[in-house]
Amino acid sequence: MITIKSEREIELMRESGALVAKALDLLEMEIRPGMTTKELDTMAEEFIRDHHAVPSFLNYAPKGDPDVTPYPATLCVSINEEVVHGVPTAKRVIREGDIVSVDCGVYKGGYHGDAARTFVLGVIDEQVQLLVDVTRECLDRGIAMAVEGNRLHDISSAIEDYARSFRFSVIENMVGHGIGSELHEDPAVPNYGRKHTGVKLRAGMTLAIEPMIALGRSRRAISRRGGWVAVTEDGKPSAHFEHTIVVRPGKAEILTGTFLERKRT
Ligand code: MF3
Ligand code: CO
């Protein structure tokens, strides 16, 4: 069931969303080669708790998979061939030349916000830089379609078409989602599909749109049994950007937009 949020609910989601954005802004300013992914996680958790909120992902347990243990951290930090759900540890050091996808969720006032950015550390391979730039643009193009009267897969096809025009690969087994009082609500928001199909978008639907795009040919992200991190099948790098948005007439409202001056996403 897809719920339509009231303006009062959206106001609360604006607060959760702003906190997610500010946490990611903080990480964007602080991330450096030599840091561990655990250091990033601690920084984010302290920031969130200092603002009287709770990390959405911490202890999250996916329904229907008894093999998977509850998620043990605040952030997902996924490096290079890791697509999503990289679990921060004190052993994993971030290096120059890495791309680091950081996903953050915040629960406050009864509602979740969810967003992700891929950070580039130092000088990286030209193709990998293009992958990151294209994935960010995929998100923007998806959001541009999230307006009242369009259909769900107008978002999906805008993302897929742009990624494919660079011969990049869309990860198909991981999707965006509705969001609100639950982190994952209906509908699933795939990053591929046929335009003019899927449910009609209505004002007040709140969606987390999150393209995951890879170099190479992998269309799936695979994880070991019982493990969280999901990697490309061919070991090629993957990028991930995500915003929580509200469907509006004419133009979607982004709830997790950055506060940094040098505007990127
Ligand atoms: N943004 C991701 C998602 O929507 C992060 C979830 S991590 C989890 O699936 F631990 F909560 F699963
Ligand atoms: Co999400």
Tell me how far the alpha carbon of residue 101 lies from the centroid of ligand 1, in angstroms. 13
Residue 104 confidence (pLDDT) above 70: yes
Q: How many domains does the chain have?
A: 1
pLDDT band for position 265 (50/70/90)? low
Residue 254 lies in a domain: yes
The mean pLDDT of 100-120, rounded to a whole number, is 98
Q: How far, in Å, CA of 258 to CA of 264, rounded?
A: 8
Residue 72 confidence (pLDDT) above 90: yes
Residue 63 confidence (pLDDT) above 90: no
- Mean of all residue pLDDT scores within the chain: 97
Tell me how far the alpha carbon of residue 113 lies from the centroid of ligand 2, in angstroms. 9
Query: 187: domain CATH number?
Result: 3.90.230.10
**Which residues are near ligand 1 (CB < 6 Å)?**
57, 60, 71, 76, 85, 103, 114, 177, 208, 242
pLDDT attached to residue 264 = 53
Ligand 1 site-directed mutation target among 48, 56, 171, 183, most atoms within 8 Å of CB: 183
Residue 19 lies in a domain: yes
Residue 211 lies in a domain: yes
pLDDT attached to residue 17 = 99
Domain that holds residue 250: 7-264
Q: How far, in Å, CA of 41 to CA of 94, rounded?
A: 13
Residue 28 confidence (pLDDT) above 70: yes
Environment of ion ligand 2 (residues, CB < 5 A) = 114, 208
The ligand with the least distance to the CA atom of 72 is: 1
Residue 99 confidence (pLDDT) above 60: yes
Tell me how far the alpha carbon of residue 149 lies from the centroid of ligand 2, in angstroms. 23
pLDDT attached to residue 188 = 98
pLDDT attached to residue 64 = 77
Which of ligand 1's atoms lies nearest the C-alpha of 242? 1
The mean pLDDT of 158-164, rounded to a whole number, is 98
Rg over alpha carbons for the chain, rounded to the nearest Å, is: 17
**Residue nearest atom 11 of ligand 1, based on CA coordinates:** 57
Residue 46 lies in a domain: yes
The structure tokens listed for 130 are 């293009």
Residue 1 lies in a domain: no
Which of ligand 1's atoms lies nearest the C-alpha of 210? 1
Ligand 1 site-directed mutation target among 45, 63, 83, 103, most atoms within 8 Å of CB: 103
| Geometric angle at alpha carbon 198, from 192 and 199, rounded to 5° | 135
Q: How far, in Å, CA of 34 to CA of 15, rounded?
A: 32
**pTM tops 0.75, yes or no:** yes
116-126: per-residue pLDDT in tens?
A: 999 999 999 99
Which of ligand 1's atoms lies nearest the C-alpha of 116? 1
171-198: per-residue pLDDT in tens?
A: 999 999 999 999 999 999 999 999 999 9
Tell me how far the alpha carbon of residue 33 lies from the centroid of ligand 2, in angstroms. 26
Residue 210 confidence (pLDDT) above 80: yes
Residue 2 lies in a domain: no
Which of ligand 1's atoms lies nearest the C-alpha of 76? 7
Please name which of 41, 44, 4 lies closest in space to residue 20, comparing C-alpha atoms: 44
Strands (E), 86-184: 99-108, 111-120, 169-170, 176-178
**Residue nearest atom 8 of ligand 1, based on CA coordinates:** 57
Q: How far, in Å, CA of 130 to CA of 144, rounded?
A: 21
